[in-house]
Structure 1
Amino acid sequence: MKHIVAGVAAHVDAGKTTLSEALLYKTGAVRTLGRVDNGDAFLDPDTLEKQRGITIFSHQANLHYGDLSLTLLDSPGHVDFAAQTEQILPVLDYAILVVSATDGVQGYTQTLWRLLKRYHVPTLIFVNKMDADGVDREAILQQLQTELAPGCLPFDWDGDVDLMPEETAEAIALQDETVLDDYLNGTPLSTPMIQHMIQRREVFPCFFGSGLKMTGIDTLLDGLSRWTLESEPAAEFGARAFKISHDEKGERLTWIRVTGGVLKTKAEVLPDQKANQLRVYNGGKSQMVSEISAGGVGVILGLTDTRPGQGLGAAANSPAPLLQPVLNYAVTLNGVDAHTCLTALRQLEDEDPQLHVTWSEQVQEIRVQIMGPIQLEVLQEQLKTRFNLVVSFGEGSILYRETITEPVEGVGHFEPLRHYAEVHLKMTPAKSGSGMTFDTDCPVDVLGKNWQHQVLTSLQAKEHLGVLAGAPLTDMHITLITGKASIVHSVGGDFREATWRAVRQGLMMLLANDGDQLLEPWYQFRLTVDGDNVGRAMTDIQRMHGSFETPTTNGANTVLSGVAPVSEMQDYARTVQAYTHGLGQLECVVDGYRPCHNADEVIADADYHPVSDLENTPDSVFCAHGAGYPVAWDQVPTAAHVPYVMTH
């Protein structure tokens, strides 16, 4: 029997959970067809999900269809919970992307598409709600091919490859040069050939139907059975964690996909941490098992140091998450004990690392980072229902980032008495959205391999702050290019200090030449208003420093699509509801970071003094006459023991 793990993803209200219920019902996995709006959906078992009628957490279901054993992972559809969706992507064999026939490709649909591409997940597309009035199948297919990929092709004929329409066969062949050459030379397409093209993300089979009316479901199941390939398991044990949760008894659950070998109960998964118990979930119910084989999805009890994306055994870690929170909120305790609240939030942060809970000892304040207002409401409800804590949140603030616009060589020197390290780092701007990356280009005869490892470890050990507003750095590549150690006095901590100082010293060098840049998060928005309010909407967008494409019409309404700063548009949905009397609709998806539209104002308000930030100092320490002494950042290049590598 072929076993695959498939995830279901979609824009909110596309009918993703309804489709999942239809798949479960068709295959006999459930006896009754659940409904999201009735609060009885099999894959929305959490109380908060039942109350809100949306998927908030990822869930697992298991079903069989012919010779196909399918583990289905349902994911949230609301953009505020996109981090939950991103967590499951690295463990999928395939994804089912649900697109609403009435709404087409939305902003969040495109975000999901970028994520699926990033994690190299082969994808099948189900166009849902085809029973709605006025739906144009060909127009939807054209939009999929234009906005997602040319390889989005209809696969809803009788599944036999010999019965494939000629135009479909030609379109498939066009997606691969080698396949096209063979096809033009008379070699017909074969099932294995198409399976591998789908697996390589060259072809994206499209199916059409209605989850609510149960149409097109058999064709989709046939497609999953016919066109998918089982992943090749590794011989050595490996597993990848994709979710952390807690059960009703407070037990910590590590959700994993086994990538190789077999995981057995009581096996040591991490140093001094064993799999005390193994479970396999199906909706809200679980079953204890003695082992989970390669390809299987399950839960480990007994691990305390796991996190989503972590590789266990021979499995590698997943890439760092692409989606990051953009809003920062202070917790208003309302008489709740700060330590009790912080402990509860730490548990929720354990489940969702993107929450980024921080505690400021100076102002006695807890802050959390989130994606949007719906997530904030759910967080408030979780604290109340799970921990009996009634708190509120202050006014949100924007999470800014900083980067650089030109290369620089940063120098750090740390030489108090009986200590020694000097580090030179080449800091260069990187592609937007790439985050922070590090490497070394330093000969080992200049600086030993062990010291180079200390430098790279130190670079990764903390979140580096910029010098404009003290915001975290991003979109930079840092390379160790030279340095110096003492045979007698150097220890690892010396290189940590020198490395951190080198980063800050380089930033200060750029600050003097306007080479540092403040970034802010931007929304990609889609605003729908009636014809009478188009002028008002355009004026508002321009006032918010946004931009929009040529307006389009959708019946009696006008649609404006564009981008705008989160700081300006984050509360605009209420304004839209007010001036359209509830008939307008604003959809916003975080579209990454761009240069801040009002940088001077934000920097002035931050009132950040980088030289006074002693925990992130740009200055160095040198030694003379048996004592260490400080050297200001702008004097460090002259005092350094190793000459500059880059020309200045």
Structure 2
Amino acid sequence: MHLLNLGILAHVDAGKTSLTERLLHTAGVIDEIGSVDAGSTQTDSLALERQRGITIKSAVVSFALGDVTVNLIDTPGHPDFIAEVERVLGVLDGAVLVVSAVEGVQAQTRVLMRTLQRLGIPTLVFVNKIDRRGARYDGVLRALSERLTPSVVPMGSADGLGTRDARFTPGLGPAALDVLADQDDDLLSAYVEGTVSDDRLHTALAAQTRQAMVHPVYFGSAVTGAGVNELITGIKELLPAADGDPDGPVSGTVFKVERGPAGEKIAYARMFSGTLRTRDRVPFGDAREEGRITAIGVFDHGTDVRCDAVPAGRIARLWGLADIRIGDCFGEPRKAYGRFFAPPTLETVVVPGPGTDSRTLHLALTRLAEQDPLIGLRHDEARHETSVSLYGEVQKEVIQATLADDFGLDVTFRQTTPLCVERPAGTGAAVEFNKKDANPFLATVGLRVDPAPAGSGVDFRLEVELGSMPYAFFKAVEDTVRDTLGQGLHGWQVTDCTVTMTHCGYSPRQSHAHQGFDKSMSSTGADFRGLTPLVLIEALRRAGTVVYEPMHRFRADAPADTLGGLLPVLAALRAVPRTTETRGGSCVLEGVIPADRVHALEQRLPGLTRGEGEWESAFDHYAPVTQGVVPRRPRTDHNPLDRKEYLLNVTRRVGG
């Protein structure tokens, strides 16, 4: 028996949770198929998921398909919860991408397929809802080929579209041979000679699917069950089994964290190597701290059961790792699966309602951020405010409902604002010397800030000898540089720059006869952590910074005769169309729009286009703010922009 960790991915409302229910029913795990509308599905366990009819958190369920054990992970489809999908991708062996036969290829479908291809994850496509009115076969196949990938292989034909009798008839046609032969010279030669057998064709299909070179396409209905048996055959025969040596060194990755009934932390992890047992001690995270496994649960036939060990290839729930975070590797370090999607581009301040204690609220938000690292919390001690970063307005509603349902906290939100960044405008340098001028710290720090290419992040370098002072002091400077760059001259995170340490110096350890270490005369890490923000901000001030706002690329498909009303609205929302293409009676606009204007346009589009307009957008780049007042963000640090205020907050030593 082999194991397969399978992800179900889709644009919201394409029917992936319904497909999960149908697969569980077909495999004999459940006796009755749950309904998303009725809130009775297996994987949507949160009350909020059942109320809204959408998936918010990824869920794992296991079942057997013949000799294949499948750990199936149902993921959210709404773009506001893309972070939840991101964490799952790093633990998959294969995926099923669900597309609606009515709506066809949608915005999130394209984002997901691009990511699956970039990561080389073998993927089957299931075109759902062939029983719905408006279902299409040729049009959807054409859209898959044009807007997702030309390497799609139709696995059969669909008949009776738009009726309850719609069915899928399996069979590889000439189109499949054309696609497969494009990737295989030997198959192409056999094709030309007319000697391609069915077995040869299926062997090539399986090999190319497992290498993510082609993507088999099935049509069907999760509601009626049409095409599902054929999809199951494809899952068993075309997707690769989980690999990993159970006798090798222990190595795994955490992709989800939740809290148990008693508040204990439970980590969902994929084992890539070795066998993990209860009472084992394993290092985890960047700091490689150790934790002791107190209990293990594995998924089996629709539920999870306790066991004493979990081998490579399996997904498990782990107890005992109190400080573990999503994305952490444990055991032998392995390459992190990184970030595949754009970061959140919006932010809002959480406002406690009547009777809501701000400290209790902060603790609850910290718990939520623990389960979702991309909920970036930012606490302002001076104003007693907490901000959260967001992908969109629906995510804000979910946070509000979760705080009310799970923690009994009433909150509202301020207006959503864009999350900008700062980049250096030029080069700037500054230095402060130990025991000179107004430097109250026993440290010398000199820093130079240079611009770097967009998307390069922050690089820290040395122009001083590494042995010129203790390594701990260099580490204190680098860590503080990265922390300080979280808030630039305008309060935004500074990125795409190189920070070089140009000067360093310290006071060696001092002691008196028959006495211990004299801290007042000897440099400590605190001296370097205290001085670095002042030097870095001064270097930034001399370099200057430019504030950049997040921009989304968009694609709007609308009736051509509505263009006259749509264009002025786009202009008012600072959208810039770059290409316009007319196709029959419709018009396709592509361009860019500020991230904080997307929601307003999505709300107005149906009225402007008689309900026929289609909109898709995704983060594309940051652009310099050129209109109006440059946005500022309130500082939450000790404000190194004001030396006097900073020194009063940081140290009791009196500067000049």
Instruction: Flag whether TM exceeds 0.5 (same fold).
Output: yes
1:113-152 correspondence runs (5 A): 113-133=113-133, 135-152=135-152
Letter in 2 for 1:204: H
Matched, 1:333 2:352: yes
Alpha-carbon offset, residue 117 of structure 1: 4.2
1:37-116 correspondence runs (5 A): 37-116=37-116
Letter in 1 for 2:414: G
Letter in 1 for 2:273: G
Alpha-carbon offset, residue 57 of structure 1: 0.8
Aligned counterparts of 1:113 and 1:478: Cα–Cα separation in 2: 34
Aligned counterparts of 1:612 and 1:274: Cα–Cα separation in 2: 38
Q: 1:533 to 1:185 in 2, by over 3 A?
A: closer
Q: 1:454 to 1:418 in 2, by over 3 A?
A: closer
Aligned counterparts of 2:583 and 2:261: Cα–Cα separation in 1: 49
Counterpart of 1:569 in structure 2 is 598
Aligned counterparts of 1:617 and 1:114: Cα–Cα separation in 2: 48
Aligned counterparts of 1:325 and 1:282: Cα–Cα separation in 2: 35
Letter in 1 for 2:452: P
1:466 to 479, 485, 488: 488
Matched, 1:430 2:453: yes
Alpha-carbon offset, residue 398 of structure 1: 1.9
Alpha-carbon offset, residue 492 of structure 1: 4.8
Letter in 1 for 2:343: Q
Q: TM-score, normalised by structure 2?
A: 0.81
Q: 1:612 to 1:260 in 2, by over 3 A?
A: closer
Alpha-carbon offset, residue 85 of structure 1: 1.1
Counterpart of 2:239 in structure 1 is 228
Alpha-carbon offset, residue 120 of structure 1: 4.0
Letter in 2 for 1:296: R
Of the structure 1 ranges 309-318 and 521-530, higher mean CA displacement relative to structure 2 is found in 521-530
Counterpart of 1:25 in structure 2 is 25
Matched, 1:614 2:640: yes
Matched, 1:508 2:541: yes
Counterpart of 2:266 in structure 1 is 253
Counterpart of 2:442 in structure 1 is 419
Aligned counterparts of 1:615 and 1:175: Cα–Cα separation in 2: 59
1:213 to 207, 217, 224: 224
Q: 1:95 to 1:414 in 2, by over 3 A?
A: farther
Aligned counterparts of 2:85 and 2:642: Cα–Cα separation in 1: 35
Of the structure 1 ranges 195-204 and 177-186, higher mean CA displacement relative to structure 2 is found in 177-186
Letter in 2 for 1:427: D
Letter in 2 for 1:209: G
Of the structure 1 ranges 526-535 and 91-100, higher mean CA displacement relative to structure 2 is found in 526-535
Of the structure 1 ranges 237-246 and 308-317, higher mean CA displacement relative to structure 2 is found in 308-317
Counterpart of 1:343 in structure 2 is 363
1:537-576 correspondence runs (5 A): 537-548=566-577, 549-550=579-580, 562-576=591-605
Alpha-carbon offset, residue 49 of structure 1: 0.9
Letter in 2 for 1:550: T
Alpha-carbon offset, residue 293 of structure 1: 1.2
Which deviations, in whole Å up to 9, do the C-alpha atoms of 1:315-360 show, x marking residues without a partner? 4333246432222222222221111111111111111122222322
Matched, 1:308 2:326: yes
Aligned counterparts of 1:40 and 1:257: Cα–Cα separation in 2: 27
Helix, strand or coil at the partner of 1:570: helix
Counterpart of 1:160 in structure 2 is none
Q: 1:297 to 1:460 in 2, by over 3 A?
A: farther
Q: 1:398 to 1:479 in 2, by over 3 A?
A: closer
Aligned counterparts of 2:637 and 2:254: Cα–Cα separation in 1: 41
Of the structure 1 ranges 148-157 and 380-389, higher mean CA displacement relative to structure 2 is found in 148-157
Residues 611 and 617, structure 1, Cα contact 8 Å, conserved in 2: no
Aligned counterparts of 2:84 and 2:37: Cα–Cα separation in 1: 22
Aligned counterparts of 1:213 and 1:560: Cα–Cα separation in 2: 37
Residues 405 and 429, structure 1, Cα contact 8 Å, conserved in 2: no
1:449-464 correspondence runs (5 A): 450=471, 456-461=478-483, 463-464=485-486
Of the structure 1 ranges 65-74 and 417-426, higher mean CA displacement relative to structure 2 is found in 417-426
Residues 421 and 490, structure 1, Cα contact 8 Å, conserved in 2: no
Alpha-carbon offset, residue 570 of structure 1: 2.7
RMSD: 4.0
Aligned counterparts of 2:186 and 2:505: Cα–Cα separation in 1: 54
Residues 441 and 530, structure 2, Cα contact 8 Å, conserved in 1: no
Counterpart of 2:297 in structure 1 is 279
Structure 1 unaligned regions, length at least 5: 158-162, 622-626, 631-648
Q: 1:346 to 1:178 in 2, by over 3 A?
A: farther
1:364-443 correspondence runs (5 A): 364-404=384-424, 408=427, 410-413=429-432, 415-416=434-435, 419-424=442-447, 427-432=450-455, 436-438=457-459, 440=461
Q: 1:37 to 1:615 in 2, by over 3 A?
A: same
Helix, strand or coil at the partner of 2:70: strand
Q: TM-score, normalised by structure 1?
A: 0.81
Helix, strand or coil at the partner of 1:201: coil
Alpha-carbon offset, residue 566 of structure 1: 2.3
Matched, 1:594 2:600: no
Of the structure 1 ranges 9-18 and 440-449, higher mean CA displacement relative to structure 2 is found in 440-449
Q: 1:609 to 1:531 in 2, by over 3 A?
A: same
Aligned counterparts of 1:312 and 1:181: Cα–Cα separation in 2: 48
Structure 2 unaligned regions, length at least 5: 158-170, 284-288, 509-521, 648-652
Aligned counterparts of 1:264 and 1:487: Cα–Cα separation in 2: 49
Which deviations, in whole Å up to 9, do the C-alpha atoms of 1:549-574 show, x marking residues without a partner? 4366798x766554311233333344
Which deviations, in whole Å up to 9, do the C-alpha atoms of 1:499-549 show, x marking residues without a partner? 6566545533432xxxx4322223344556667644222210122121344
Q: 1:227 to 1:422 in 2, by over 3 A?
A: same
Helix, strand or coil at the partner of 1:523: strand
Alpha-carbon offset, residue 75 of structure 1: 0.5
Letter in 1 for 2:179: A
Alpha-carbon offset, residue 496 of structure 1: 5.0
Letter in 2 for 1:508: R
Residues 347 and 417, structure 2, Cα contact 8 Å, conserved in 1: yes
Counterpart of 2:311 in structure 1 is 293
Residues 446 and 483, structure 1, Cα contact 8 Å, conserved in 2: no
Residues 331 and 368, structure 1, Cα contact 8 Å, conserved in 2: yes
2:551 to 509, 513, 522: 522
Aligned counterparts of 2:433 and 2:118: Cα–Cα separation in 1: 40
Which deviations, in whole Å up to 9, do the C-alpha atoms of 1:396-418 show, x marking residues without a partner? 22211122466x46555453478
Letter in 1 for 2:594: P
Aligned counterparts of 1:387 and 1:611: Cα–Cα separation in 2: 29
Q: 1:135 to 1:418 in 2, by over 3 A?
A: closer
Letter in 1 for 2:278: T
Q: 1:178 to 1:422 in 2, by over 3 A?
A: farther
Counterpart of 1:241 in structure 2 is 254
Q: 1:458 to 1:117 in 2, by over 3 A?
A: farther
Q: 1:442 to 1:164 in 2, by over 3 A?
A: farther
Letter in 2 for 1:375: Q
Helix, strand or coil at the partner of 1:112: helix
Q: 1:250 to 1:452 in 2, by over 3 A?
A: closer
Letter in 1 for 2:564: G
Residues 454 and 492, structure 1, Cα contact 8 Å, conserved in 2: yes
Residues 10 and 16, structure 2, Cα contact 8 Å, conserved in 1: yes
Aligned counterparts of 1:227 and 1:566: Cα–Cα separation in 2: 40
Alpha-carbon offset, residue 208 of structure 1: 2.3
Q: 1:405 to 1:179 in 2, by over 3 A?
A: farther
Aligned counterparts of 1:580 and 1:106: Cα–Cα separation in 2: 18
